[in-house]
Amino acid sequence: MAKKPVKTEEDLFIQEVDEDLRQDQAHQLWQDYGKYAVALAVLLVVGVAGFKGWQAYDISSREAASARFSQAMKIDPAKDPDAALKAFQGITADGKAGYPLLARFQQAKLLAKAGNAQGAADAYRALSGDKSIDEIYRNLAIILGSLQELNTQAPNLEALEKKLQPLAADDSTWRFSAREISGIIANQTGDKDKARKLFSALAEDRTAPQGVRARAQEMLSILGK
């Protein structure tokens, strides 16, 4: 059996005022609450009504935003990449309830899938430098953007390694991915010893994701002894 909602002091106060009004005890109401209390009661009633209206609008707005994002996700980028990209660009421009951030990541992902590594890298770089979003998402953008920058024509590997260093720390959520990318950079710059060291540590780390460990082992096989 569902429990009855507990009434707050504001609810009880409004109920008392309402009962007095229904019984037309205007004189008693004035004595009990005074003119300021009556004004407060009116404000409370209006406030509650306004809040309920805003709450209904907010829920409706969130549902519409969710439906809009869902529709954008249903567009097959392989068949109509322009339509997919345009849909997410629209959400980025005027979307609600956190969906603009998701849409920005989706745009970067679509650019990467289309083979536009530079465009994807630029999109992720913009996300990583946006101080208005949470740090965990900015760091995720660094990880994803680094992978795309490695595929550009002239990646700045030194700058890339510098960005990854803080994310490779032991207390970082992204340490395994950051170390894996650092190993790839070391290999590309000709520092085979550093690459082997990084990939060996990843391959032997039981706390690392299985995929990371498997790829690290593959890289060690490629690098040789």
Q: Please check the confidence at residue 60 and state whether its pLDDT lies above 80.
A: no
| More reliable by pLDDT, 54 or 137 | 137
CA 154 – CA 203 distance, rounded (Å): 29
Output the pLDDT for position 215.
92
| Domain limits, the chain | 81-154, 156-225
Percentage of the chain beyond pLDDT 70 is: 72
- Proportion of the chain in helix, strand, coil states, percent, rounded to 5: 75, 0, 25
Threshold 0.85, pTM exceeds: no
Output the pLDDT for position 197.
95
Closest CA to 108 of 98, 116, 99: 116
CA 137 – CA 130 distance, rounded (Å): 10
Cβ-based neighbours of 200, under 8 Å, separated by 6 or more:
216, 220
Q: Could you identify the residue written with the tokens 């953007």?
A: 145
- 184-207: pLDDT as tens digits: 999 999 999 999 999 999 999 999
The chain-wide mean pLDDT, for the chain, equals 80
CA 77 – CA 63 distance, rounded (Å): 24
CA 158 – CA 193 distance, rounded (Å): 17
Q: Please check the confidence at residue 42 and state whether its pLDDT lies above 90.
A: no
CA 110 – CA 115 distance, rounded (Å): 9
Query: Once rounded to an integer, what is the mean pLDDT over residues 35-52?
Result: 54
| More reliable by pLDDT, 195 or 19 | 195
Output the pLDDT for position 52.
53
